[in-house]
Chain A
Amino acid sequence: MIQPGTMPYILAILVLAVGVYAVSCKKNVVKIIVGIMIMEHAVNLFLLLMTYRASEAGVVAPILTRGQDAAAFAATAADPTPQALILTSIVIGLGVVALMVAMALRLHEKYGTFDLSRIRSLRG
């Protein structure tokens, strides 16, 4: 059923599943933030794997170097569009993590714990 060519994608989804497990089961706020970071890494990995192009010239980055033939470059280089979108996604991930960490610090300041079940029962 599973084609051998799509095996790396399924491995990337396995990493995503670890993040899903962390977000849905862990009670520590820091562990949940880490789970969201793992999910970000897994999705970026999945998109990154789709850009790779195996060619007779080996791995060619989408950067035109001096003296390189433009037609040969266009025929062998990796896909630049997902790479540009992953760059955007990585930087936005940093902003999201900073915001989540700020919320965790405020929670700890108010309740004195990172444990979500205790924070729920405190009713502040």
Chain B
Amino acid sequence: MVFDPTVAVYALIAFMFLGSIIAIEARDLLSTVISVSAVGAALSVIALLVGAPDISITQVVVEVLCLIVLIRVVVTRQDETVDAHPSDAATAMGLAFAAFLVVVCAVGFVGLRPFGQPLLADAKVGAGTMGAQYLEQSFASTGSPNAVMGVLLDFRAYDTLGEATVIFAAVIGTYVLLRKVGRKNA
């Protein structure tokens, strides 16, 4: 009997949904930050269940770093405005916009491939898709048994270079915003 992750995936998405509601409605900012980290942890478990161990590992590492950064901002600052309620009109507008998004996606997803049967599993056109070609050629042409790393570091290495550029720009921006030396009226 083969393992079918569908039920576990549904349960974990429900957990993510509840965790994100708790995160945005909690009074205490520390509980907010910890709840959003729980959402990320659930995402890493889902990645493990649907056959993406690389994503799972990266998600855990990134989630821990995000938690440290956010706890840094929450714990060291006094925040006295937690009880600020948005106006009723703003809440109604936000809810209406979110509901509109869900309805549009539910209508638009009708033509999508069902869960568990991506295009590369199709009997007729599957063998010609990019994913199937990567799976076939990754080991022979890049030498990497891990097809994801073959795509990331060889077939699409320029994407990874661009990613490194974005990270570098973000680090520079963070440093410029937080520096103390050289600021005129700190």
Contact = CB atoms under 8 A, between A and B. Distances in A.
Interface in B1-20: 2-6, 9-10, 13-14, 16-17, 20
B13 A11 contact: yes
25 contacts: A5-B113, A11-B13, A15-B17, A17-B99, A26-B86, A27-B86, A37-B66, A44-B55, A48-B46, A52-B51, A59-B3, A61-B53, A64-B145, A70-B139, A80-B150, A87-B148, A88-B163, A92-B167, A93-B62, A95-B166, A95-B169, A101-B174, A102-B177, A113-B80, A113-B81
B176 to A, nearest CB: 9
B94 to A, nearest CB: 4
Contacts of B51: 51-53, 59-62, 77-78
A45 B115 CA distance: 13
Nearest to B65: A94
Mostly, the B contact residues are helix
A78 to B, nearest CB: 4
A78 B83 CA distance: 46
A46 to B, nearest CB: 9
Given A11-B14, A22-B24, 16 more contacts: A25-B94, A34-B24, A37-B36, A37-B66, A45-B46, A51-B52, A54-B117, A73-B135, A78-B52, A84-B151, A90-B59, A92-B170, A96-B170, A102-B178, A105-B77, A114-B77
Main SS at interface, chain A: helix
Interface of A: 1-22, 24-28, 30-31, 33-35, 37-38, 41-42, 44-45, 48-65, 70, 73-74, 77-88, 90-99, 101-106, 108, 113-115, 117-118
A4 B74 CA distance: 41
Given A18-B98, A56-B2, A41 B43 contact: yes
B98 A95 contact: no
